[in-house]
A and B are shown apart, each in its own frame.
Chain A
Amino acid sequence: MTTARRWIGDHLVLGLGILVLAYTFVPIAIVVLMSFNDSSKSRNVYKFQEFTLENWLHPGQWADGMGSSVWLSIQIAFCATLVATILGTLAAFALTRHRFAGRSAANVIIFLPMASPEIVMGSSLLSLFVAAGFGGSLGFVTILIAHVMFCLSFVIVTVKARLSGLNDNLEQAAMDLYATEAQTFWRVTFPLVLPGIIGAALLSFSLSFDDFIITNLNAGQSVTFPMFVYGANQRGVPMEVNVIGTAMFVISIAIVLGNEVVRRRQAKTLAG
């Protein structure tokens, strides 16, 4: 076997893998590209016409309703993240560190939302709201409730993973060294779980901001950003939506990479 053939053989799988990865980024590249697209010329065709910085520089000129939909999505995502992260972290602690009956049942209920089709979850929530008499007042609150519901599972799973990886000797060592239970938690446990909690919060924010199917069913008259985009598809999507998409992507990547760097440093110290 020649050296070249051998090299190809060894690296074939890796090469294919990288190809797949590249394929997943193509649409992202397009989103970024389109954010610089001048959409005034053609609204009905999703095509690159002319380069412009207008979309980025003049948010005031964004299409009607887009700004408010973005703002609504941000508000909901923020609140949902807050509630889901707190509730989910508490639950993760319960599942990892404490004993109680019905643990396996709890695990199943937590796993199910991650695997259920969104249309079914959205439908059932809607029927609940209607049956409870809130059919006429769908809006911020109902969306929020729905978002917390499906974010909870992801938060719990993420924090649980982090928590169970911690050496539990550390907490015992802290108590051995005169730390009370409360001091042990705040000085040892919490700093070490924090990266997991932050990761869960980020995931939660993303999921909430991006959710469409469940939101669409339970939003009533409110319009979130994904709903705006979907609705605009009929009339012609304004290019400035891609500004939001790009911004989301860049911010998230920056945070994730930053968190990854911190985690790498801590991971090295944990392996001891």
Chain B
Amino acid sequence: MSQVHEVTPGGPPEASGSRDLKISRLTKEYATFTAVKSLDLVVPQGQFFALLGPSGCGKTTTLRMVAGLETPTSGTIELGDTEITFAKPYKRPVNTVFQNYALFPHLDIAKNVAFGLERRGVKDTKKQVADMLELVELTSQAHKKPTQLSGGQQQRVALARALINKPEVLLLDEPLGALDLKLRRGMQLELKRIQTEVGLTFVHVTHDQEEAMTMADTVAVMNHGVIEQMGAPIELYENPRTTFVANFLGQSNLLAGEIEGREGDQVKVRVQGAVASVPGDRAHSDSGKGWLGIRPEKVLIAEAGQPIDAPGDVIEGGHVTDVSFVGVSTQYSVRMPWGQELMVFEQNTGARAMLPVGTAVDISWRPEFAFLLDASQDAKAGIEED
């Protein structure tokens, strides 16, 4: 079963180039399980594309099939109108930045970077190597061996080594995984900058949703071998179509409800006695039961009886069971009368002091931020386990 979703262009609209990466019905089956199930995907030329999902979802396998390091069981991979499904890795205009960098330990940095050019028969690689090292700011390290460099430096060498070949598609397999937080943030911006500068198609595989949303023009969320939803980061985040996406990107409150029906461009849902409304284009289920979703940061909270700023749908009767001060925001756990605990994130604007545990509260959200999901989906899908 394939899930085909419209790609909502995130960046400035560009003419669909002739060298898009097109994956059709790509499948990879192993003896005991199927890693990738009939995947359909189009990555327009020049985009920064992220393939996001938990470990084991098949994203790395997909990437390796595009690189030629795994053989698909069925399906096709095309670059423009050239089919590369079974072409050997060294015959594809595609390069990879590996997760553990895979730098050649017996060659120095300059030779590592020049490797691809030399294999293609380029005679004088000096200038190109020098330019590339300058791009990643490693000119002074040219004659060192890989382990004499730090993790961040090795990562940049791996990038330079791939980029120098000007591939039509650059594949990045969780390249920032081994770096510490600050370094990772810096590299994320670097990668985005370089991609914009050179204009190549980047396909970045990661399990870090913040990373994907920060860097990519388009994100595809993968789960168990299929794509759950694909689009611009903001589209995925604000309007998730499955519980997996709702929980995997950020966090969501999902309330069980009965769908009452459409009223114009709104869908009415009965939740715990009250009736909430969801805009038509954010309702992904038509009848029967549904999950009414609202992001914690969109939920407003106030002490019971106190006025809420710009209220929308209001639910009374909750009380605070946990308060976490996270610096930027305060995260509340609120137990509602029907037993469910909802999460509320409030930015620490300083306008009001933190509400202590036990406080009776009312919560509210504006209906245009709610979304409606199919009740048959698992409400726990996508929640990262500790």
Contact with B along A165-192 (1 / 0, CB 8 A): 0010110111111111001000010011
Q: Is the C-beta of A99 less than 8 angstroms from some C-beta in chain B?
A: no
**Residues of chain B lying within 8 A (CB to CB) of residue A272:** 100-101, 103, 105, 146-147, 154
Q: Is the C-beta of A14 less than 8 angstroms from some C-beta in chain B?
A: no
**Residues of chain B lying within 8 A (CB to CB) of residue A177:** 90, 95, 115-116, 119, 161-162, 165
CA distance A268 to B147 in the complex (A): 6
Contact call A172/B119, Cβ cutoff below 8 A: no
Contact call B98/A169, Cβ cutoff below 8 A: yes
Q: Known contacts A176-B68, A183-B119, A271-B147; decide if A170 and B104 are in contact (CB<8 Å).
A: yes
CA distance A210 to B106 in the complex (A): 34
Contact call A174/B106, Cβ cutoff below 8 A: no
Q: Is the C-beta of B25 less than 8 angstroms from some C-beta in chain A?
A: no
**Residues of chain B lying within 8 A (CB to CB) of residue A183:** 119
State the Cβ distance, B61 to closest chain A Cβ, in Å. 14
CA distance A269 to B162 in the complex (A): 20
Q: Known contacts A176-B89, A180-B90; decide if A266 and B106 are in contact (CB<8 Å).
A: yes
CA distance A176 to B146 in the complex (A): 19
In residues 123-166 of chain B, which contact A (Cβ within 8 Å)?
145-148, 154, 161-162, 165
CA distance A191 to B102 in the complex (A): 15
CA distance A218 to B67 in the complex (A): 56
CA distance A101 to B154 in the complex (A): 40
**Residues of chain B lying within 8 A (CB to CB) of residue A178:** 90, 116, 119-120, 165
Task: Provide the main secondary structure of the chain A interface.
Answer: helix
Q: Is the C-beta of B88 less than 8 angstroms from some C-beta in chain A?
A: yes
**Residues of chain A lying within 8 A (CB to CB) of residue B162:** 176-177
Q: Is the C-beta of A270 less than 8 angstroms from some C-beta in chain B?
A: yes
CA distance A192 to B104 in the complex (A): 9
Q: Among the listed A167, A175, A266, A269, which residue makes an inter-chain contact with B89, where contact means beta carbons less than 8 Å apart?
A: A175
Q: Is the C-beta of B331 less than 8 angstroms from some C-beta in chain A?
A: no
State the Cβ distance, A196 to closest chain B Cβ, in Å. 13
State the Cβ distance, B96 to closest chain A Cβ, in Å. 5
Q: Is the C-beta of B69 less than 8 angstroms from some C-beta in chain A?
A: yes
| Nearest chain A residue, comparing its CB with the CB of B120 | A178
**Residues of chain A lying within 8 A (CB to CB) of residue B145:** 269
Contact call B106/A175, Cβ cutoff below 8 A: no
Contact call A174/B115, Cβ cutoff below 8 A: yes
In residues 256-272 of chain A, which contact B (Cβ within 8 Å)?
266, 268-272
CA distance A175 to B119 in the complex (A): 10
Contact call B116/A170, Cβ cutoff below 8 A: no
**Residues of chain A lying within 8 A (CB to CB) of residue B120:** 178
**Residues of chain B lying within 8 A (CB to CB) of residue A268:** 147
Contact call B102/A172, Cβ cutoff below 8 A: yes
CA distance A169 to B147 in the complex (A): 16
CA distance A178 to B105 in the complex (A): 18
Q: Among the listed A172, A188, A269, A271, which residue makes an inter-chain contact with B69, where contact means beta carbons less than 8 Å apart?
A: A172
Which size class do A's interface residues fall under? 20 to 34
Contact call B69/A192, Cβ cutoff below 8 A: no
State the Cβ distance, A152 to closest chain B Cβ, in Å. 27
Contact call A176/B119, Cβ cutoff below 8 A: no
CA distance A268 to B105 in the complex (A): 9
In residues 220-272 of chain A, which contact B (Cβ within 8 Å)?
266, 268-272
**Residues of chain B lying within 8 A (CB to CB) of residue A188:** 104
In residues 145-203 of chain B, which contact A (Cβ within 8 Å)?
145-148, 154, 161-162, 165
State the Cβ distance, A35 to closest chain B Cβ, in Å. 40
Q: Among the listed B68, B98, B154, which residue makes an inter-chain contact with A173, where contact means beta carbons less than 8 Å apart?
A: B98
CA distance A173 to B89 in the complex (A): 9
In residues 152-171 of chain A, which contact B (Cβ within 8 Å)?
167, 169-170
Contact call A191/B106, Cβ cutoff below 8 A: yes
**Residues of chain B lying within 8 A (CB to CB) of residue A191:** 106
CA distance A172 to B89 in the complex (A): 8
Interface centre among A169, A173, A174, A191 (most CB of B within 10 A): A173
CA distance A180 to B98 in the complex (A): 19
Interface centre among A169, A188, A272 (most CB of B within 10 A): A272
| Nearest chain A residue, comparing its CB with the CB of B94 | A176
State the Cβ distance, A182 to closest chain B Cβ, in Å. 11
Contact call A192/B68, Cβ cutoff below 8 A: no
**Residues of chain A lying within 8 A (CB to CB) of residue B154:** 272
Q: Among the listed B67, B96, B115, B147, which residue makes an inter-chain contact with A270, where contact means beta carbons less than 8 Å apart?
A: B147
State the Cβ distance, B220 to closest chain A Cβ, in Å. 22
Contact call A270/B89, Cβ cutoff below 8 A: no
CA distance A176 to B119 in the complex (A): 11
State the Cβ distance, A262 to closest chain B Cβ, in Å. 11
Contact call B100/A167, Cβ cutoff below 8 A: yes
CA distance A177 to B92 in the complex (A): 9
**Residues of chain A lying within 8 A (CB to CB) of residue B148:** 269
Interface centre among A167, A169, A271 (most CB of B within 10 A): A169
Contact call B119/A170, Cβ cutoff below 8 A: no
| Nearest chain A residue, comparing its CB with the CB of B151 | A272
Q: Known contacts A172-B69, A269-B147, A270-B147; decide if A179 and B102 are in contact (CB<8 Å).
A: no
CA distance A192 to B148 in the complex (A): 18
Q: Known contacts A175-B69, A176-B67, A178-B119; decide if A192 and B90 are in contact (CB<8 Å).
A: no
Binding site for A on B (CB under 8 A): 67-69, 88-90, 94-96, 98, 100-106, 115-116, 119-120, 145-148, 154, 161-162, 165
Binding site for B on A (CB under 8 A): 167, 169-170, 172-180, 183, 188, 191-192, 266, 268-272
Known: A176-B90, A266-B106, A272-B154. 10 other contacts (CB 8 A): A169-B102, A170-B102, A175-B90, A176-B89, A176-B95, A177-B95, A178-B90, A180-B90, A180-B119, A192-B106
Q: Could you list some 6 contacts between A and B, CB below 8 A?
A: A167-B102, A169-B102, A180-B88, A269-B106, A271-B147, A272-B100
**What 8 A-B pairs come out closest when comparing CB atoms?**
A269-B105, A177-B116, A173-B102, A178-B119, A169-B102, A175-B89, A269-B147, A178-B90
